[in-house]
Structure 1
Amino acid sequence: MDVDTRLLRYFVAVAEEGSLTRASARLYVSQPALTKQIKQLEALLGAELFHRSRAGMSLTEAGRALAERTPALLADWDVALRRTRQAAGRAARVLRVGFLASAANEATQRIVAEFTRARPGWRADLRQAAWSNPTAGLATGDVDVALLRLPFPGQDALRVEVLFSEPRWVALPSAHPLAARDVIAFEELWDEPFVAAPVETGPWRDYWLAADERDGHPVRVGAVTDQPDDWLSAIANGYGVALAPESAARFYARPGITYRPVSGVSPTRVGVAWTPADDANPVVQDFVRCCLAVRRSDCG
């Protein structure tokens, strides 16, 4: 019998969290979708894996037997998959660099140029990820290194070097009454509807809603988007406002949208991230060194 490794990952998350709600936030999937996948796995195995109750999800005897072996199995598969992809990259002389749209700025071109000088014949293949994938594919082994907005879910399990920080501004419809202000106090935005990332992104969504900086004031969500173009359209159409990096005013300028500085909200940071398994990977470390070299030149 062949079982999709995704189903096993979902099973492990629920087993470790003991809750569909917490597991869905950890996996960045909706709770109904996670419930469906767990039932699919149980049907494939012909065994009930969890006792379900109001208190949460607890393992059955069959579930405990599976839980004892699955983490090691998945870890071995992850290592095999990552090494296979890296071997293919080395053969093609390609470094896969994941990034979120807002994490790639003017410095990215200089980083790539520096990497090309450090590794003649190599190419940095830049791969943009949706906001529902805050590690830009790094956590799943789809890329070798990533340029990311901090903080992001799973950050503690990765190596991260901070490259720069910048203020968070607000993007709002140009016809909005606050658009004429030079600076907007964050508390003036608390009652505004916000354009948010998908709920499955958990801490990432909360950070860009500044949920912890509202003095307990509840968030109003006017629209949910996963891509920059949809995000811009939602704001321009008046469905809500959104916090954004200062650099978004340069990279995502669009008629009908105005960007303004915001006081009373913390700045955002960008970092280069890689897995601990790549601490000794010379190509990944060359890219990291290029990132740090550009950071030093900017600071100097």
Structure 2
Amino acid sequence: MVQNTTLLPKQLGDSHIRLLRIYKSVVENGGFANAEVDLNISKPAISQAISELESLLAMRLCHRGRAGFSVTEQGQQVYQSTLQLLASLETFRAQVNGINTELNGELNIGITDNMVTVPQMRITEAIRRLKHQAPKVTINISMIPPEEIESGILDGHLHIGIVPYLRSIAGLNYFKLYQERSLLYCATNHPLFDKDLSMISDQALTGYDAVVPTYPQSQENKQQQLLLNATATSTDREGIAFLILTGRFIGFLPTHFAERWIKEDKMRAVDERNRHFTTQFSAITRKGARSNLILEAYLEALNHT
């Protein structure tokens, strides 16, 4: 006669659900290595979690080693049961949210400097929609460099970030927002300001002092910056504008940011046909982050702007 043994506690806690979610990812990714990217946790941590789950269930869930990864027969049954459990939890969450749709909490956003003048205003419009839907939500905006935004998303300090897309980090989701065009500018009192600026040779360009950024740039942007006689640097685009407005430097600025000085006839674009580049901006969130209704609402608002 087979003795019935209660393997799991009567009440499943967050720690048990976490182990099952890790196991689900391992199965669906065909092993620990691929799951490491999906879960954004280390391979040893995944191995420890699977061993803990196997000990809790008193059964072997998968084979791993030199022969490769494979799921046992019992492991396959546990995987199917896990899918049913997680689906039930999601259904419960959706039903409860449908009963009480009032959102209350915080949304922490990291944004690259000088984005407020972007004509599309998708960030602003999405916040407006969110506050209309959920007036009790608190919005916290941090204007910080892209690398700090990426770190803030990964460690959970920020919920969403707006950064130039320069590389793909495994632990982040990317949502394209818009492209930003930059031109080379000079200002009033600069020797180039009153000249014909329709074209200027690379050699002639090196005869003028220029300001270049110290923040990361795409390869296309770097190629344009290398043509300049860099005698000044800036950590952000506002600093670049300051130096251009002295009338002693030329430098690249986004067209939306420079527009105010163009209208006041304080800046002019230099060789617009050849001296330009485009930067893709994206919204980023952390992969595998715990469900956040406020963030989901904001992302939904972004998709409809």
Range of TM-score over shorter length: 0.5 to 0.7
Q: Any residues of structure 2 matched to 1:10-25 within 5 Å, and which?
A: none
Tell me, yes or no, if structure 1 residue 271 matches structure 2 residue 298: no
**Contact 1:98–1:127 (Cα < 8 Å) also in 2:** yes
Q: Does 1:243 align with 2:252?
A: yes
Cα distance change of structure 1 residues 284 and 132 upon mapping to structure 2, 3 Å threshold? closer
Shift of the 225–128 alpha-carbon distance from structure 1 to 2, 3 Å rule, reads same
Equivalent residues, number: 202
1:283 Cα deviation after fit: 2.1
Is the Cα contact below 8 Å between 1:222 and 1:239 reproduced in 2? no
C-alpha distance 109-166 of structure 1, shift in aligned 2 (>3 A): same
Matched, 1:99 2:111: yes
| Distance in 1 (alpha carbons) for counterparts of 2:205 and 2:290 | 42
The question of 1:173 aligning with 2:187 is answered yes
Residue 173 of structure 2 contacts residue 284 of structure 2 at CA under 8 Å; is this kept in 1?
yes
Normalising by the residue count of structure 2, what TM-score does the alignment of the two structures yield? Answer: 0.53
Alignment-mate amino acid for residue 247 of structure 1 = H
- Which of the two has greater helix per residue? 1
2:211 partner letter: V
Query: What amino acid is aligned across from residue 193 of structure 2 in structure 1?
Result: A
Change (3 A) 1:176 1:213: same
Find the partner of 2:302 among 277, 283, 291: 291
Larger radius of gyration: 2
Take 1:249 and 1:179, find their aligned partners in 2: how far apart are those partners? 15
Alpha-carbon distance, 1:259 to partner: 4.4
Instruction: Indicate conservation of the 8 Å contact 1:186/1:263, yes or no.
Output: no
Partners in 2 of 1:155 and 1:223 — Cα distance? 30
* Partner of residue 213 from structure 2, selected from 184, 197, 200: 197
Q: Retained in 1: the 8 A contact 2:114–2:238?
A: no
TM-superposed deviation, 1:260: 2.0
Q: CA offset at residue 205 of structure 1?
A: 3.9
Secondary structure of 1:102 counterpart: coil
Tell me the SS of whatever aligns to 1:124.
strand
In structure 2, runs of 5+ residues without a counterpart are: 1-40, 47-102
Superposed CA offset, 1:179-237 (max 9, x none): 35565569578524432232xx4xx24658x22357xx655322122244433222223
Between the aligned partners of 1:140 and 1:184, the Cα distance in structure 2 is 47
CA distance in 2, matches of 1:102, 1:127: 12
Equivalent position of 1:211 in the other structure: 222
Q: Calculate the TM-score normalised by the size of structure 1.
A: 0.53
Give the gaps of 5 or more residues in structure 1.
Answer: 1-70, 77-90, 295-300
Q: Is the 8 A contact 1:149 1:269 kept in 2?
A: yes
Decide whether the 8 Å contact of 2:172 with 2:285 is kept in 1: yes
Taking only aligned residues, the RMSD between alpha carbons, in angstroms, comes to 3.9
Q: Distance in 2 between matches of 1:254 and 1:133?
A: 33
